[in-house]
Chain A
Amino acid sequence: MVWAAPNRDAVAAMDLRDVSDAALVIAIGRWRQDALAEAYRRNAGAAFALARRLLGDRTLAEEVLQEVFLRLWNQPDRFDPERGSLRSYLLAQTHGRSVDLLRSETSRRRREEREVRETAEHGADIERQVIDSSVATQVKDVVAGLPNDERTAIELAYFGGHTYRQVAVLLDQPEGTVKSRIRSGLRRMRKDLADAGVGVSWAES
């Protein structure tokens, strides 16, 4: 007995390029492969960039992406449009899976060698990372306005895939301080982005 059957007709006429994240995911929930393709078109580039940055390995990054989009296909209801954009959801999924892989024993050693080298060479470089065509200027300004300590802690945690305790060791700072700086930096960015007209206040009601 069927509770909810796929219904392609109901959304067949939908122009997927123009639909919201929520409508796109509903279409995915109805097993429309073209809707998943559109979600991929919108978000796969960023997800791949994040996974590759974290893992330093193209093949592993592709595996993560494949896993993330298959999960969206099989469990679209895990995305809640009330909780943010599809982009941030998919990036969070990509980040989480990449970090899981990073923290496996084999890749951890490899990553740590690379990280030590790169940190020594470049330090924090979120500013170089931020490229989003529509809001690039505002985001770069906001990132540039972060206190160095906060920016570095976020950089090492988010793009380095380190725990905050590892970040504390890398920066030779107290764990509690690093933990606080990650949170205060993210909150500061959110406020500054909102002040700059970049909407991240969807959760307020």
Chain B
Amino acid sequence: MGRELNHTEAAALLGAYAVDALDGDELDQIERHVDDCGACQIEVAEHREVVAYLVPGSARAPEGLWDRIAGSLEEVPPPLTMPAAPVIPIDRGRRRFGPARVGAAVAAVAAMTAIGILGLKVVDDDRRIDDLRALAPATELDRTVKAAVADPTGRRIALASTDGRLEADTVLLPDGTGYLVSSNLPELGAGRTYQLWALVGTSKVSVGVLGAQPGPAGFKAAGEAWGLAITEEMSGGVVSSSNDPVVVGTRV
């Protein structure tokens, strides 16, 4: 493993990286940088879009290849599962976490149970995965979050993990605007992000990514969200997720 590249050094390698013309330490170094650099991710994607134009588009794949691919697909897709909801030991939980946390944990279990019953489908309404951290300056966001918390029409949604250890506090206004007020989610490693999902009807709609260490953030939840969930995903977020929610909660 080589040293970390600064952005200028990394940028000089992006063309070669985009066409797989790096190897060894340089490849490791640039991959580490690109994983964490949105600007470099965009440039690499642009280069790859450009070279895609150089490949003959009118060529034909060999006869029979699709049949072999189709024949190797699994007949029954693997279920996208999460662990069964645990029984919350209320008494122990109260001593350990206090009533509020137990309440959040119970709400989380209830939400997970509801998810299981409904068999949520995964949708991303407009295919955008917003970076929620970038939506407003910190000071302005702080004021807005406080105003939303104080808004009598706002509904608080307490998200929690099944064991009650992890929590996220959110508020959702009637127009669908919402805010992540606080959380105790642990910081994620390089290349990982938290992603927020709105539970709407029987769907799980991507709201946006929260980064590796979520702070207060604003978002717009599509439709009539009856709950929110946060998953851990790769940087940049995903269109659909099969990961277990880290925390989840429903409107009370």
Contact = CB atoms under 8 A, between A and B. Distances in A.
Interface of A: 1-7, 10, 20, 22, 25-26, 29-31, 33, 36-37, 40, 44-50, 58, 62, 65-66, 69-70, 73, 76-77, 79-85, 87-89, 91-92, 95-96, 99, 103, 126, 129-135, 139, 143, 154, 157-159, 161-164, 167, 179-180, 182-187, 189-190, 193, 198, 200, 202-203
B49 A202 contact: yes
A185 B15 contact: yes
B222 interface: no
Classify chain B: how many residues form its interface, as a range.
35 or more
Given A79-B239, A130-B56, A48 B20 contact: no
A70 B72 contact: yes
Given A87-B52, A91-B48, A4 B12 contact: no
Nearest to A3: B82
24 contacts: A1-B83, A1-B115, A3-B242, A3-B243, A3-B245, A6-B77, A31-B77, A33-B70, A44-B61, A49-B59, A62-B68, A66-B65, A79-B239, A80-B238, A84-B45, A88-B49, A130-B56, A132-B58, A158-B21, A164-B22, A183-B15, A184-B15, A187-B15, A187-B47
Interface centre among B18, B51, B122, by most chain A C-beta atoms within 10 angstroms, is B51
Given A58-B62, A129-B56, A4 B49 contact: no
B73 interface: yes
B225 interface: no
Contacts of A157: 16, 19-21
Contacts, number: 249
Contact of B80 (A5, A36, A82, A85): A5
**Closest 4 CB pairs between A and B?**
A183-B15, A132-B57, A49-B59, A1-B116
B204 interface: yes
Contact of B119 (A5, A91, A130, A187): A5
Contacts of B72: 66, 70
B173 interface: no
B73 A4 contact: no
A74 B128 CA distance: 22
A49 B56 contact: yes
B16 A179 contact: yes
Contacts of B80: 2-5
Given A3-B244, A65-B61, A99-B20, A200 B49 contact: yes
A139 B18 CA distance: 19
A176 to B, nearest CB: 8
A35 to B, nearest CB: 12
A79 B250 CA distance: 30
A162 B82 CA distance: 43
A2 B50 contact: no
Interface string B237-251: 111111111000000
